[in-house]
Amino acid sequence: MKPIDYFFEIKDDKYRDFTAKLLPTVDPKTIIGVKIPDVKAYAKKYVKDEESKQFINKLPHDYMEEYLLHAQIISLNKNIDEVIDLLDKFLPYVNNWSVCDTIKPTIIKKYPDKFLSVIKKWIKSKEEYRVRFCIVILLNYYLDDNFSDEINELVLNVKRDEFYINMARAWYFSFALIKQYDKTIHIFEEGLLDKWTNNKSIQKARESFRIDNNIKEILLKYKK
């Protein structure tokens, strides 16, 4: 059974309507209504099929779930060079945060330096979701053992007007405050972020259970 046939077989109309409300950049007619865990489960089986190699070479897709499947196939790939090439071809077609944020190639953990060099190029792109992808990857894979001041600088230097980029920046800096507080707080002390991103970062950090109440009070001082 082809992916599209399977997705229509298991679709949930209520979930489709719910998803459409969360994704204003997506034509509701292109949403089938399949939950992401179900797409991920299917991808693990489908990636073993030779047909999956043909599938990821056919862009654009007709439905959002096909993009989600495409994202999962890339995420499951264990060859870092193939992942970079596949991402480079795929990202221009991504047009929503849901697909963007589900792209999580775990192979990056083995080649953090190599992928960081790619991020440094891509984060300067004019493509909205290529930039968001870079920020989300930095959040997911570079705020722990692979962290350095350079990681914060990469996100700090993104100066864009797009909502979904700045939402990712706020999300990133809220996690940076949680995981790398001593290396991040100066950004707020010096007022280096624009007002919206600054305040949204503080809001999200203060909503976290992983930050002490004392720090939450300190962060309030840096709201603009």
- Residue 1: the pLDDT is 81
CB-CB neighbours of 177 under 10 Å? 25
- Residue 102: the pLDDT is 97
Counting residues of the chain whose pLDDT is more than 90, the rounded percentage is 99
Chain-wide mean pLDDT for the chain?
A: 97
| Poorest-pLDDT segment among 51-55, 83-87, 98-102 | 51-55
Summarised one tens digit per residue, pLDDT across range 104-139 is 999 999 999 999 999 999 999 999 999 999 999 999
> Residues with Cβ < 8 Å from 87, sequence gap 6 or more?
74, 103, 105, 133
Summarised one tens digit per residue, pLDDT across range 164-215 is 999 999 999 999 999 999 999 999 999 999 999 999 999 999 999 999 999 9
Query: b/e per residue, 86-117, with b = 16+ CB within 10 A?
Result: bbeebbeebbbbbbbbbbebebbeebeeebbe
Q: Report how far Cα 42 is from the mean position of its chain's Cα atoms.
A: 21
- Residue 157: the pLDDT is 97
- Residue 134: the pLDDT is 98
Summarised one tens digit per residue, pLDDT across range 63-78 is 999 999 999 999 999 9
- Residue 116: the pLDDT is 98
User: CA–CA separation, 169 vs 204, rounded Å?
Assistant: 11
Over range 23-30, report the average pLDDT.
95
- Residue 4: the pLDDT is 95
Summarised one tens digit per residue, pLDDT across range 130-173 is 999 999 999 999 999 999 999 999 999 999 999 999 999 999 99
> Which tokens belong to 134?
């870079």
Question: 60-64 — which CB contacts under 8 Å span 24+ positions?
Answer: 60/93, 61/93, 62/4, 62/30, 63/4, 63/7, 63/30, 63/31, 63/32, 64/19, 64/23, 64/26, 64/30, 64/31, 64/32, 64/96, 64/98, 64/99
